[in-house]
Homo-oligomer: A and B are copies of this chain.
Amino acid sequence: MGNSFGKLFSISTWGESHGPGVGVIIDGCPPRLPITAEEIQVELDRRRPGQSDIVTPRKEEDRVEILSGIFEGKTTGTPIALMVKNGDQRPGAYDEMREKFRPSHADFTYQAKFGFRDHRGGGRSSARETVGRVAAGAIAKKILALSGAGGNRGVEIRAFLTQVHDIVAPAEALVNFPTLAEVEATAVRCPHLPTAAAMIERIKAVRSEGDSVGGVIECRVRGVPAGLGVPVFDRLEADLAKAMLSLPATKGFEIGSGFAGARLRGSEHNDAFENRAGQVRTVTNRSGGVQGGISNGEEIVFRVAFKPTATILQSQATVDIHGEATELMGRGRHDPCVVPRAVPIVEAMAALVLVDHWLRQSAQCGTFEF
């Protein structure tokens, strides 16, 4: 409890930054889904460090191993266990962290909570834990991709950067649903190329100063049928918000109009309904695809704010586990901006939420006909 997510399509992750490995169990996956290690690997490779010159040069091969639940290329309906072994460890590289609390990291709070911690690379609090999420998310994405029976294209999830530091992509440049190729075209995963170029420049600049920057990811989902989400607590946006705020370094979530919506009048904000091609649709989409906690068939649109990477290559004031004032000099191989690598993680979490709610909707509203 605390390390599991999802009610019907449920994942449980395990593993620390510098233990033998990290992994995930998926419980509740529908049977007979065709899935291969290679398909999972594709998503892990998108998350992996060392993909470009603006991310950490740490080498993590991150090969997924399937330990259970998939037989002869198809899911069996029993728990799927996936593991990625850790590698490229540098014993001793983290000795200083045994005693000193890194500012804005989880060192102090883990110590305060558990009275004991695996200090190596942040232990369990390391973003390496998200390997399991991405692996499970790859399976969820495959389910969603295949969900579109009869000519439908299935559900597509596309996350991308709209902001790094104070560089913001112009809204009018992001009207269309970006293609995967557009997102993956640059190392920052912003589909607007001029903005992407500026972002890359900024990241290189702050890195050269031993500093870091944050940013914002937007995620859009199309093809979701109306009806997903369970009022009153498990609203679709509530579960998406939880999913996103459960990611390391996130500080905010907004859906549809978000915080800007607070500045509008009702007459400006309401999404009028219309009949479009025989379907009830909204003319605008300030709701972000969710009304009353339930998907309405429009594009789901949400944004997630990431703080700047806490690890900086500068000297910082802190205290040690004895309460003594000290200084800590950041070292090692860290991302000056984690946001580009968070793109597949955001997509994975969105996929997990959607599959879970799809199963829930099917159970409650699709099992019995009266």
Most chain B Cβ neighbours within 10 Å, of A271, A287, A293, A324: A293
Counting CB contacts under 8 A, is A294 at the interface? yes
**A104 contacts the other chain (CB 8 A):** yes
Chain B neighbourhood of A59, CB < 8 A: none
Q: Judge whether B30 and A113 touch: CB under 8 Å.
A: no
- B369 and A149 contact, CB distance less than 8 A: yes
Whole-angstrom CA separation of A362 from B369 in the bound complex: 13
> What is the 8 Å Cβ interface bit string for chain A, positions 5-22, against chain B (1 contact, 0 not)?
101101011111001111
Min CB distance, A27 to chain B, in Å? Answer: 5
Q: List 10 A-B contacts (CB under 8 A).
A: A3-B231, A12-B25, A15-B67, A19-B71, A32-B115, A78-B231, A110-B292, A211-B267, A253-B253, A275-B323
The verdict on A238 contacting chain B, using a C-beta distance below 8 Å, is yes
Q: Is the CB of A317 within 8 A of B365?
A: no
A2 and B234 in contact, given A68-B14, A77-B116, A212-B265 (Cβ under 8 angstroms): yes
Copies in the assembly, this chain: 4
User: Which residues in B have their C-beta under 8 angstroms from that of A76?
Assistant: 16, 114, 116-118, 123-124
B109 and A291 contacting across the interface, CB-CB below 8 Å: yes
Contact A32:B370 (CB < 8 A) given known A79-B12, A231-B78, A308-B266: yes
**A60 at the B interface (CB under 8 A):** no
Interface centre among A232, A314, A361 (most CB of B within 10 A): A232
- Determine the chain B residues whose CB is within 8 A of the CB of A147 once the complex forms: 368
Interface centre among A4, A114, A211, A286 (most CB of B within 10 A): A114
Q: Given A65-B20, A113-B294, A262 and B118 touching (CB < 8 A)?
A: no
By a CB distance below 8 angstroms, the chain B residues around A134 are: none
Select A244's contact among B20, B68, B239, B241, beta carbons within 8 Å: B241
- The CA of A367 and the CA of B270, in the complex, are separated in Å by 33
In the complex the two chains form, is A21's CB within 8 Å of B67's CB? yes
- Tell me how far the C-beta of A228 lies from the nearest C-beta in chain B, rounded to whole angstroms: 8
With a cutoff of 8 Å between Cβ atoms, the chain B residues found around residue A195 in the complex are none
B274 near A31: Cβ-Cβ < 8 Å: no
With a CB–CB cut-off of 8 A, which chain B residues contact A214? 261-264, 269
Residue of B nearest to A250 (CB): B237
User: In the complex, which residues 1-55 of chain A have their Cβ closer than 8 Å to any Cβ of chain B?
Assistant: 1-5, 7-8, 10, 12-16, 19-23, 25, 27-34
Beta-carbon nearest neighbor of A74 in chain B: B116
Measured CB to CB, the closest approach of chain B to A204, in angstroms, equals 14
> Is residue A278 within 8 Å, beta carbon to beta carbon, of the partner chain?
yes
CA–CA, A245 and B147, complex, Å: 27
A27 touching B8 in the complex, CB below 8 Å, given contacts A251-B259, A367-B359:
no
Q: Complex: how many Å from CA A146 to CA B368?
A: 8
How far apart are the CA atoms of A71 and B116 in the complex, in Å? Answer: 9
| B363 with A124: CB separation less than 8 A | no
